[in-house]
Every structure is written in C-alpha cells, then in structure tokens.
Copies of this chain bind each other. A is one copy, B any other.
C-alpha cells in the first residue's frame, strides 16, 4: 500500500505538546514505515528554538528531545524563514534535524497539492 502522506501545521507556542502527541499517536498507530510525516512550523511557534529565551527552559528542552525522537522515527521538521526573522530566532542555533524553507505557507500548500493530508492540532 502507498504510504500515508501527512502534514501537521503548528503556529502557536502553546500547541507544541498537542502537536507532538498527534505525531506520536500517528506513528504508533500506523507504524513509521507506513507514513510520510512532516511538521511545518511557522509564526510564533518557532520561538521554541529561541536560544535566548530563558523561561521554561526545562519544558523547551523536553519538547525538543521529543522532536528528536520523532525525527529518528522519520518525521521531518520544517521551519519558516519568514517566521524565524519576524521572531528574531537565529537560524544557526536550530537543532540539526530541522530544515528551513523560505515560506512555511508555501510549503503547506504545495505539500497538499502533492497529496498530503493537512491537520492543524
């Protein structure tokens, strides 16, 4: 059977836990070999990667660890450069498993044109 193609969209900091739980439930339920999963991050949600932010350091580190585990299971994390600039997040400080694209919105709509399902947790 052809793999499921799935795009999760996150643009709020408060939705990180929910978004990663959806990703994990999907991989657990269908198996990482049966799904092509991409998480597209834009707007203020990119602040999770802000090395200068000092509050909630533990929560942030915990979330980035969860992302890395999902990345190891095949999930792709894609970040919007417009959002990085608008939120003063340094591109060089991003975790190695993250890919930067010029505009997250373009990625979201071209992926759907390629047959990806869209989910906004």
Alpha-carbon distance A70/B31, docked complex (angstroms): 34
Bound Cα distance A71, B102 (Å): 23
Query: Contacts of A22 on B, CB cut-off 8 Å?
Result: 42, 105
Is B121 a contact of A113 with CB atoms below 8 Å? Answer: no
Neighbouring B residues of A105 by C-beta, 8 Å: 22, 25-26, 29, 119
Residue of B18, B28, B117 near A103 (CB, 8 A) is B28
- Give 15 A-B contacts (CB < 8 Å), ordered by A residue: A4-B110, A21-B43, A22-B42, A25-B80, A25-B82, A25-B104, A26-B103, A26-B105, A26-B106, A29-B102, A29-B103, A105-B119, A109-B117, A113-B117, A120-B120
